[in-house]
Structure 1
Amino acid sequence: MDPRSFVLDVVRCDVCDTPVPPLHCDFCQIYLCKACVGDHLLNESRKHQVVPFKHRTLNHTTCSNHATERCKLQCLQCDSSFCTICVFCHEHEEQNVIPVQCSSKKTNTDQNTECRSLPVLPNTTEDHSKTAKTSGAGSHHLRPLLIEPRIITTIQTQFGGTLNKLCSVGCHKDAEIWTCGSRKNTIERYTLLGKKVQKESILTKSGNGPWDIAVTRSGDLVYTDDNDKSVNMIKNKQIQTVIRLQGWKPHGVCSTSSGDLLVVMNSDDHKQTKVVRYSDSNLRYTGPKEEQSIQYNDRGRPLYSTSYSNKYISENTNFDICVADYGACAVVVVNQAGKLRFTYTGPPSTTKGSFYPRGITTDSQGRILTADCYNQRIHILDQDGQFLRYIENCDLHELYSLCVDTKDNLFVVESITGKVKKIQYCMQGH
């Protein structure tokens, strides 16, 4: 079966960008939400025929391969029109692709013997520019969401149960994962076949269970220990305490694209929460030093809940800092400078108090994925906090930590069962 048949194209209102609009104007060939349909019908300069989404009629400007996309590009070689997803699926050679002309006539090859090229193809449309951002690590091919996410592998760890919950996971070279429990003082490594790597068990320095783990770009392991207030790095099986806190306890940790560490921490009196950045160079050469502290918004109010609750952290491809704040029932996202960008408390239809995020991760497309432990499902957002879809068909239970590998496969921790589920939720890159 053609793998593109599984691709989910997120339909949005052509006026206000609201996802999944219920209406369509067949004459204007645009999608409409209920809030925008009134103003659209008031435009008497042309005829309108608004119908329910499922009864829409699409004209020849709609892509034949992707029904929710418009033909905004054309190929000089075959003279066909198509959407941007077709290009990323390698249907046409990029050097032959140009924006759709005002004219349907083929370019005169006598006057133009070389095919025109697009220097930055994703920016030729506004619909997909957000998901094809260039980050510090370089540009990425578009990886649209799948209609039906699927479990690829289930890994049974030695952790689990109410007394030793599986609490964190980190990807190691796409072939293995690191895991840890809430009470046991070991960090274990597993292959994706579910086999424990016997020689790779790490005993914590304090003898306590780690709070969170992360894998750095260089493949080293980092873990936080809220009992002795330390952040530790493991290189060649040797544990080095790189940060020792006073008056604060570390919780979630992540390694950034530049190699810095971001740590979420709570004060000992449980009255303050902040995110602190430690630079990679300081950790290696001069010792720990706070490069940045993020705690308050522009009005001097706390950005994060002050309760001693689960808080996981991840950096996005646009360098936003994303925190899943269980105590606030929200995902709090600030930019690289620490300024609040948005707070996500669930889709518009979410009932107050029914969204409790734990784990959080981001993928190569800038999408934010967070584990909703109240409803046992994964929320997928775009980098601006707009809800895209749920992952709720993979029999998920007692959700905790999340991470993705370089191919955007998702690893989901089930704390009580002790299982890590590897889920494919988007189209794989080439």
Structure 2
Amino acid sequence: MNLENSLQDVARCHHCEAPGPSLHCDICNKHVCKDCEKEHVSDQLNMHKLVPFTLRGCITICKLHSSQICDQLCEKCLIPICVVCASKKHQGHGFSDVVVKLEQKRKDFKRDLEELEIIHPKLKEIAVYTINQTANLNKNYRKLTTAIDKHGEDLRSVIDVIILKFKSDVFDMKQKHLDVLNKQGEEIKRRISEMEQIITHLNDLLYSKNVSVVSAYKSKNAEFRRLPPKLTVTFPSFAPQKIKREQCGSLSTYRTIRTEDHGYDSSGAKSSLPDIIEKQQIISEINTEYGSNNGLCSVSCLNDQQVWTCSFYDKIMKLYDTHGELLKSIETKSGNYPRDIAMKKNGDLIYADYDERTVNIVKNTQIETVIRLWIWRPLSVCTTSSNDLLVVMICDDDEQTKVVRYSGSSEKQSIQYSDKGELLYSSGDIKYITENSNLDICVSECEAGAVVVVNKAGEFRFTYSGPNFSSKESFIPYGITTDSRSQILIVDSSNLNIHVLNKDGQFLRYIDISHLNRPSGICVDTKNNLFVAETVHVTGKVKKIQYIM
């Protein structure tokens, strides 16, 4: 080999000194060009293994079998092995050619590297943006704190002025009382002095023989008999008024950080927002026999294998198992159609009678009225973790709606207005209600196209009107329920899907129910299986759906 050429070139064929050999023999450790490939392997006295030049060094002699080369990769053990090892120690494992595997992995690495080179600057950009947001956050929260401090100073100034005015008024009243008492005191002192002079004069006259002086005396006793009144001061009182928090101003509730999607596909193009629709498996179907003219409206789980159902147009409530067998039928006490049903923890059935203005409980086969309304009508009911009843009701004027919590027959709480005095719920008589595991109260309002969520105390948390990125038909919510993950599930009958939200109202995904006919009522069993009712003028079926894998 020419030393000068060897020094000038990075690599040359060890046979013909051609530059840029494409092959390398990992056994001989020699470079080989394509033209010299046959010449190199013709030496049968030694082992040879030619590999692409870029993969040189990947083939080694087996440490256990020195006459064999490790040209196979055990896919289970992820180590290079020889043919003898493959037939003995690694028998039954999957194998692949080492060179082929390396070439494939290098292509994967190159693809990953190209993608990471796209992602890396974007991630750095988001990192800088996040740092800026953090700085902006600190700045804005300082401004907020400063504004609150300034408002506190203003409030203290106003309070100081008010307190000074109170004290001034107290001083003025005190002075007026003192003036009256002092005036009377001076008058009494004058009378006492005058009376004492008269007493002394009378004692002198009593033994006087001076006829002129005695005759000149005139009695003033009539005047002294008119004693001055006793003055009793009625003191003013101070009634401190407790300052309510809202009188000092208001701070908007915590808002979740708005997220913007920065994903992209392998080509580097921006991906769409997370409008994920999941079509899930139907486990079973229950034919409720309400039929095409009896609109199935509500469904409630007694347990994982049995569900109660009711219809807008049938006075019979029916209990089915998941195989579709009718287990029990209960007719409403009034003979009216039940508006909604719910289950108590002990398995008793609750139903709302809109026309009768009552909420009733079914114990075995006996029906007891637990709530009777007067100018209100019940629309929907649910039970709570504390075994209370929550009832959505509408006023006879069709303008007012409220949620009332009952313990037995006793009203414990009424939820109708926000802390600003605004109505929380709209008019309209198609509403469903449920309680989440965090004790939030969730109400779906069909006509308003919204879900309103308040906390246990009845304080407004959020309104959900559909994801803001959706370009679908109007959001028309019907049945609503929650699962073991505190997710809120809402039937959207307009778009034939179920919206899944987290407990704070953030949209997570859709569940595709386009294979159902006019879905309405919904409930979830303890295993997070959905029961969805198909409603008015269609099939009258309840379908059990597995939506969490």
**After TM superposition, is the score higher than 0.5?**
yes
Q: Secondary structure at the match of 2:320?
A: strand
Give the distance between the partners of 2:128 and 2:476, measured in 1 at CA: 36
Which digits, 9 at most, give the CA deviation of each residue in 1:353-382, with x for residues without a partner? 700101000001100001111111111101
List structure 1 runs of 4+ shifted beyond 4 angstroms: 28-32, 40-43, 145-148
Q: 1:183 aligns with which of 313, 318, 337?
A: 313
Give the distance between the partners of 1:207 and 1:303, measured in 2 at CA: 33
User: What is the match of residue 129 of structure 2?
Assistant: 39
User: What is the match of residue 178 of structure 2?
Assistant: none
Q: 1:302 aligns with which of 375, 398, 423?
A: 423
User: What is the match of residue 548 of structure 2?
Assistant: 426
Compute the displacement of 1:149 (Å).
2.0
**Which structure has the bigger radius of gyration?**
2
User: What is the match of residue 539 of structure 2?
Assistant: 417
Tell me the amino acid that sits aligned with residue 227 of structure 1: D
Classify 1:157/1:53 alpha carbon distance in 2 versus 1 (closer, same or farther; 3 Å). Answer: same
Q: Secondary structure at the match of 2:495?
A: coil
Residue 53 (structure 1) aligned with residue 264 (structure 2): yes
Q: Which has the higher strand share?
A: 1
TM-score by length of 2: 0.51
Aligned residues: 298
Compute the displacement of 1:26 (Å).
3.3
Tell me the amino acid that sits aligned with residue 150 of structure 1: Q
User: What is the match of residue 11 of structure 1?
Assistant: none
Compute the displacement of 1:53 (Å).
2.9
Classify 1:53/1:256 alpha carbon distance in 2 versus 1 (closer, same or farther; 3 Å). Answer: same
Tell me the amino acid that sits aligned with residue 245 of structure 1: L
Tell me the amino acid that sits aligned with residue 417 of structure 2: Y
Q: Secondary structure at the match of 1:39?
A: helix
User: What is the match of residue 77 of structure 1?
Assistant: none
Give the distance between the partners of 1:410 and 1:188, measured in 2 at CA: 18
Q: Is the 8 A contact 1:24 1:30 kept in 2?
A: no
Give the distance between the partners of 2:475 and 2:306, measured in 1 at CA: 31
Q: Is the 8 A contact 2:496 2:514 kept in 1?
A: no
Q: 1:157 aligns with which of 288, 293, 296?
A: 288
Q: Percent identity?
A: 50
Compute the displacement of 1:54 (Å).
2.7
Give the distance between the partners of 1:413 and 1:396, measured in 2 at CA: 9
Compute the displacement of 1:158 (Å).
1.1
User: What is the match of residue 400 of structure 1?
Assistant: 520
Compute the displacement of 1:238 (Å).
0.9
Classify 1:373/1:210 alpha carbon distance in 2 versus 1 (closer, same or farther; 3 Å). Answer: same
Tell me the amino acid that sits aligned with residue 436 of structure 2: N
Q: 1:315 aligns with which of 435, 438, 452?
A: 435
Q: Is the 8 A contact 2:279 2:512 kept in 1?
A: no
Q: Is the 8 A contact 2:352 2:359 kept in 1?
A: yes
Mapping for residues 69-218 of structure 1, pairs under 5 Å: 148-161=279-292, 163-197=293-327, 200-218=328-346
Compute the displacement of 1:38 (Å).
8.6
Give the distance between the partners of 2:513 and 2:267, measured in 1 at CA: 28
Q: Is the 8 A contact 2:277 2:512 kept in 1?
A: no
Q: Which has the higher helix share?
A: 2
Point out where structure 2 has 5 or more consecutive residues left out of the alignment: 1-115, 134-260, 269-275
Classify 1:52/1:271 alpha carbon distance in 2 versus 1 (closer, same or farther; 3 Å). Answer: closer
TM-score by length of 1: 0.65
Mapping for residues 339-350 of structure 1, pairs under 5 Å: 339-350=459-470
Residue 238 (structure 1) aligned with residue 449 (structure 2): no
Tell me the amino acid that sits aligned with residue 395 of structure 1: H
Point out where structure 1 has 5 or more consecutive residues left out of the alignment: 1-22, 44-49, 58-144
Relative contact order, CA 8 A, sep 6+: which one is greater? 1
